[in-house]
A = this chain, B = another copy of it.
Amino acid sequence: MARIVMKFGGTSVADLDRIRNVAQRVKAEADKGNEVAVVVSAMSGATNQLVDWCQKLSPLFDAREYDAVVATGEQVTAGLTAIALQNLGADARSWMGWQIAVETDGQHGKARISSIEADELIERMKQGQIPVVAGFQGIGPDNRVTTLGRGGSDTSAVALAAALKADRCDIYTDVDGVYTTDPRIVPKARKLSKITYEEMLELASVGAKVLQTRSVELAMKEHVRVQVLSSFSDAPGTMVVDEDEVVEQEIVAGIAYSRDEAKVTVRRVPDRPGVAAAIFVPLAEAHINVDMIVQNVSADGTTDMTFTVGKTDLPRATAVLEQARQQIGYAEISTDPNVAKISVVGVGMRSHAGVAGTMFRTLAERGINIQVISTSEIKVSVLVAAEYTELAVRALHTAYELDA
């Protein structure tokens, strides 16, 4: 007997038939003698509709009211899923964030969970009741509804699993696991049976949109075993686990890509101490995340600074830099949204040299020019022209012997 949290995303509860399917899966786990808690997202499309209404009424909407409106999506699904479970003869009830309570820091629209009062849920689960928890939502210190930001239901599920001391947190989604790369680009991509939290974090943050980054961070911190699997098939999924649970470690776990970033080059910046701060502090103050950064070697006392920002932040980033032109003292700014970031990820890199070399050689053989390079302990990322995305991903997938 195990204690399991089962989380179902928006496509898994998109209509009544799918909610019935979810109820059957949950009931099946409970019938095996497991204690089960369920976390649900809003029906797919529901959240977008609610967000759209808020934005149309006021571009500068009050985040507290946005939360009150948007949190209804998960409330609806929680109630409907409880009804579907009851219809199968299960003892189930819905829980909203404020009822449990899922306490958050009150940062409306992007709240972080501070604690979950799990005692009553555990007591009821021991008696066979299945709690159906509205994901994505909590309550702030001022007794108002908060939401966790897009994709927050994954975080709700992992936090609940930690609070319940669950044996496993199963994240049901529309893909059946984590692949070595995007199967739409590389048909030979393999499903990984296990992946470490660290690798998953790198894959999630570079574009493999399977799990929300924060949920993986939380799972790693709280040692929650997360499984990613499909609600539409019975295939086993991918377990996201501690590094020591992965016995036969591949050097490279997967190849990720992202076309969500744009390149910014600030040309002929005076090459003196403080100039990086002059560029990046105003961007940070405008809440613009900067990712890859490279500084050219100096020539004539000036240098070029290249970095990437989210594509949607590009207009704001250039505006901020133009406003700070005097302080920075650059000659010109050039931008390029037609770039892709390709990343090779694997904890095995720590103990194996040559991973980056293989990457650069493979891309060079295909004639793909590398514009920016950045590395971490378990990842090498390069920026290339967007048109080479598929070619680069396929070549690297083969080069690291990931093809099925």
Residues of A at the B interface (CB closer than 8 Å) are: 16, 19-20, 50, 53-54, 56-58, 61-62, 64-66, 68-69, 71-72, 75-76, 78-80, 82-84, 86-87, 93-94, 96, 98-99, 143-145
Contacts and interface: CB of A to CB of B under 8 A. Distances in A.
A10 to B, nearest CB: 16
A62 B80 contact: no
Contacts of A93: 62, 64-65
Contacts of A145: 96
A91 B160 CA distance: 36
A133 to B, nearest CB: 12
Contacts of A99: 143-144
Given A57-B84, A58-B83, 12 more contacts: A16-B56, A54-B80, A64-B93, A65-B94, A68-B96, A69-B80, A69-B83, A71-B75, A72-B75, A75-B75, A99-B143, A99-B144
A80 B82 CA distance: 27
A99 B96 CA distance: 13
A53 B86 contact: no
A22 to B, nearest CB: 11
Q: Which of A72, A82, A96 has the most CB of B within 10 A?
A: A72
A17 to B, nearest CB: 10
B58 A84 contact: yes
Given A99-B143, A143-B99, A79 B65 contact: yes
